[in-house]
A and B are shown apart, each in its own frame.
Chain A
Amino acid sequence: MDRYIEQAVEEIPQLIGIFVTAMPDSLLFSSWVRPGTEWAAEDVAAYFGDLIRSNRQGLKALGAWSSEMQVTIESAESLVVLRELSTDFVCGCVFERSAPLGMVRLHLKRLLERLTHALPKVQPEDRPRGTRIMEFLDRYAPDPHAVALRVSLRAGISLDELKTPATLTMDQIRRLEETACKILGVNQLSL
């Protein structure tokens, strides 16, 4: 996969980074960033995955979702385009802000076609909910350094038990989820 990405970026000088995220867990599958760019690829891939998921849910709520949808973000310094490659993968491309939009679309079309062909067919693993909740907290809790302690205290689950969230009981997972919602200030977790 990395080989395909490297070949693809040679043709696009204004590309700063590509992140392929495996869904539904928003885990980094593959990436490339321009030399000298100090981004944490795992984090970026995770945020991009979550962004696409929220976008998908929002559009579904509006009855306007289609698998062809694309998210374009124009920030002060970069142009970010997110696209679902398949139900299992999301691709996020970061361009220089000065890149002409028409050129970006053209490059993107070719790039995504090549990546789509290179992607494996996967059977997503049904990962334990406890693990996914802890990972979600890790990404979004305001004080991630203290989140395990906070969860332990609030949910009454020991720190040792939280070290293996896959083995939590149903009741513990319910308490964990309630606590996560409280810590994040949301009504439900988008997992």
Chain B
Amino acid sequence: MAITDLRALNAEQSLTFLAGIPYVYHCHHYNLFHDQTIDDALGEEEGARVRTVAAHNAFRELLTAIFDKAEATTPAERINLASEVFAWMGQGKLMLDVTAAGGRARSASLHYGYAWREKYGSRVKRSEPCDAVAAGFASAATELAFGLAWDGITAKEHKCLATRDAECELTLETATSQLASPPIDEATVRRYVVPPIRGVDEDRIAAITAGLLEFMRGVQGDERGLVAAFNVFVTAHLPSYYNETVYETVHRIERTQAGSVPAIEALMREAGQVCVFNTFGNVLLSPEWEGLVGAPTGVPSDVMSFCTAIARGLGFGHWLVGSYEPRKRLVLRATSNYEVPFYRSRYGLAKKPRSYFVQGAALAMMLLAETVKWTERPQLTNEYYIELFRGKPRYHVEQTQCMMRGDAISEYVVDAL
């Protein structure tokens, strides 16, 4: 069974699934910033542990579903298929040399290590490996290949491209098993979406989304298991990974270091800005977009519609423009997103709005629509990012409704200051 046959789309909610497990697309800028924030909050050692555990849990869910659907039963079949899936997702080509007692894994092209070296390698010297996602994947794949219990194997990376090693290398060992969490699958997701509603410019957004989804169907890892598209490294990634890392970290900071809550929430929002600026921006300036939709016009309401379509095309959920007054106010809504099902089923109702990612994304959409001179071929560099988002704030975002809190819909209001 081809991996591509395992994909499914909930078109009306713009949610994508692989073997019934949700997946989304995120670029290396977002992925690296996200992981960096976890480490900033928890420190390198604990950050790596939380990220590895989250990746393990997320890939355990995915691989269980894939092995079941593909009827892969032997260890060899399962290890092969798992590696193939990991590479298809753009996470890298990982060679697993494992038994039921553990073993080792290595790669010259893991998404995180490779992209970190590309983005930061010439500016910062890193001393800790950065491929917790690969470590979590490797342990989950090994456990499932050999029929071991949840958390029966731990994996740790000890050589990494980001720390200037020639290859990434991981060691896998047996561990004490823990209880499994229930999976966040398609059925769970269905419980936490509400019927889609139409927003401003809905027909055009829906048409562009369809074209983008079609394009994304062709996106998959190359011979190194990486995806270079839209001038960024792209991954098909598991929302459970992002969600577990974000919310476990934020909850812990709330319990132990209350004074730092504003900082971590701001950084989580910043991750949304990083995503929109880099991924959405590069999509808008790509030849693919120009072929599909046309060159960006620079009209703010166009940019707003285009960004909404891109969010849907990447599997972020049914985002819609509630209303938009250029230079004044944006009301962005969502009837589904990839955070709500995880939060509600893992933690119950939230006490306050918690869609940090979309909050940051909404703010960035406003800035992209209002400030970037799209017709002048802007260069989406780090310097330009700083120019746009630093300095005197021009807009303020507030999440006024949140499905994690039990509201009927999620709503994000961006106002000019």
A and B touch in the complex (CB under 8 A): yes
Binding site for B on A (CB under 8 A): 140, 142-146, 149-150, 152-154, 156, 158-159, 183-186
Shortest beta-carbon distance from A73 to chain B in Å: 16
B contact residues around A158 at 8 Å (CB): 259
B contact residues around A183 at 8 Å (CB): 124
CB pair A159–B263 under 8 Å, yes or no, is: yes
Using an 8 Å CB-CB cutoff, how does the interface string of B8-41 with A read, 1 for contact, 0 for none? Answer: 0000000000000000000000000100110011
CB pair A150–B124 under 8 Å, yes or no, is: no
CB pair A154–B40 under 8 Å, yes or no, is: yes
CB pair B386–A145 under 8 Å, yes or no, is: yes
Which of B132-140, B198-206, B264-272 sits within the interface?
Answer: B264-272
Our pick among B120, B123, B124, B267 for the contact of A153 (Cβ within 8 Å) is B267
**Does B215 have its Cβ within 8 Å of any Cβ on chain A?**
no
**Does B392 have its Cβ within 8 Å of any Cβ on chain A?**
no
CB pair B267–A149 under 8 Å, yes or no, is: yes
Our pick among A145, A153, A159, A186 for the contact of B40 (Cβ within 8 Å) is A153
**Does B390 have its Cβ within 8 Å of any Cβ on chain A?**
yes
Determine the distance from Cα of A144 to Cα of B127 in the docked complex, in whole angstroms: 20
Using an 8 Å CB-CB cutoff, how does the interface string of B114-136 with A read, 1 for contact, 0 for none? Answer: 00000110011111000000000
Binding site for A on B (CB under 8 A): 33, 36-37, 40-41, 43, 119-120, 123-127, 253, 257, 259-260, 262-264, 266-267, 270, 382, 385-386, 389-390
Determine the distance from Cα of A140 to Cα of B125 in the docked complex, in whole angstroms: 12
Assuming the contacts A184-B124, A185-B125, A185-B127, asked whether A152 and B263 have C-beta atoms less than 8 A apart, the reply is: yes
Shortest beta-carbon distance from B90 to chain A in Å: 23
CB pair A142–B389 under 8 Å, yes or no, is: no
> A153-B264, A156-B259 known; 6 other A-B pairs, CB under 8 Å?
A144-B386, A150-B36, A152-B260, A153-B253, A153-B260, A159-B263
In the A-B complex, the 3 residue pairs with the closest CB atoms: A185-B125, A152-B263, A153-B263
B388: nearest chain-A partner, CB-CB: A145
Determine the distance from Cα of A112 to Cα of B36 in the docked complex, in whole angstroms: 45
The DSSP consensus for interface residues of chain A is: helix
Shortest beta-carbon distance from A150 to chain B in Å: 5
A contact residues around B386 at 8 Å (CB): 144-145
Our pick among B119, B123, B125, B267 for the contact of A150 (Cβ within 8 Å) is B267
Our pick among B43, B123, B390 for the contact of A142 (Cβ within 8 Å) is B123
B126: nearest chain-A partner, CB-CB: A185
B contact residues around A186 at 8 Å (CB): 125
Our pick among B119, B120, B266 for the contact of A149 (Cβ within 8 Å) is B266
A contact residues around B127 at 8 Å (CB): 185
Which among A144, A145, A158, A185 has the greatest number of chain B C-beta atoms within 10 A? A145
Determine the distance from Cα of A149 to Cα of B262 in the docked complex, in whole angstroms: 9
CB pair B263–A145 under 8 Å, yes or no, is: no
CB pair A145–B262 under 8 Å, yes or no, is: no
15 pairs of residues in contact across A and B, judged by CB atoms under 8 Å: A140-B123, A143-B382, A144-B390, A150-B37, A152-B260, A152-B263, A153-B253, A153-B264, A153-B267, A156-B257, A156-B260, A159-B262, A185-B124, A185-B125, A185-B127
B contact residues around A153 at 8 Å (CB): 37, 40-41, 253, 260, 263-264, 267
Determine the distance from Cα of A145 to Cα of B382 in the docked complex, in whole angstroms: 9
Our pick among B33, B125, B262 for the contact of A143 (Cβ within 8 Å) is B33
B contact residues around A145 at 8 Å (CB): 270, 385-386, 389-390
A182: nearest chain-B partner, CB-CB: B44
Determine the distance from Cα of A140 to Cα of B385 in the docked complex, in whole angstroms: 16
Shortest beta-carbon distance from A179 to chain B in Å: 9
Determine the distance from Cα of A145 to Cα of B262 in the docked complex, in whole angstroms: 16
A contact residues around B385 at 8 Å (CB): 145
Determine the distance from Cα of A185 to Cα of B270 in the docked complex, in whole angstroms: 22
B39: nearest chain-A partner, CB-CB: A154
Determine the distance from Cα of A140 to Cα of B257 in the docked complex, in whole angstroms: 28
Shortest beta-carbon distance from A187 to chain B in Å: 10
Determine the distance from Cα of A156 to Cα of B36 in the docked complex, in whole angstroms: 16
Shortest beta-carbon distance from B185 to chain A in Å: 33
A contact residues around B123 at 8 Å (CB): 140, 142
B contact residues around A142 at 8 Å (CB): 119-120, 123-124
A contact residues around B33 at 8 Å (CB): 143, 146
